[in-house]
Amino acid sequence: DAGVIQSPRHEVTEMGQEVTLRCKPISGHNSLFWYRQTMMRGLELLIYFNNNVPIDDSGMPEDRFSAKMPNASFSTLKIQPSEPRDSAVYFCASSFGINLQETQYFGPGTRLLVL
């Protein structure tokens, strides 16, 4: 069974450009999480969905960030306009359900560099 799939794996862009990160969760999982990892702040939860509905977006840093989940097998995280401080590794994770005991499985991450 394929794990969580993220694309692109690496993205280099210039400040002000729009960036779209993509995620395909594990088939059958109905919860999806977006995390950001930086040296300064570690791993932070940005937003998570359950059954395609955003449940908690309190971690989204500002209005430049938006996330969607149009169906059970696809989610996007968009940054518009991008800034150098957005440079980080962005992880998508999925789980079967939203309960505490459900393990989150992580994708390989997208390394974003904003120049």
Partner 1 sequence: AQTVTQSQPEMSVQEAETVTLSCTYDTSESDYYLFWYKQPPSRQMILVIRQEAYKQQNATENRFSVNFQKAAKSFSLKISDSQLGDAAMYFCACSIQGAQKLVFGQGTRLTINP
Interacting residue ranges for partner 1, rule: CB under 8 A: 33, 42-43, 45, 48, 55-56, 89, 91, 93, 98-101, 103-109, 111
The three-state DSSP-derived secondary structure of 82-96 is CCHHHCEEEEEEEEC
Q: Which lies closer to partner 1 via its Cβ, residue 35 or residue 114?
A: 35
Q: Which lies closer to partner 1 via its Cβ, residue 45 or residue 72?
A: 45
The answer to whether 69 and 83 have CB atoms below 8 angstroms apart is no
Q: Which two tokens stand for residue 54?
A: 């955003």
| Nearest distance in Å: CB 102, partner 1 | 9
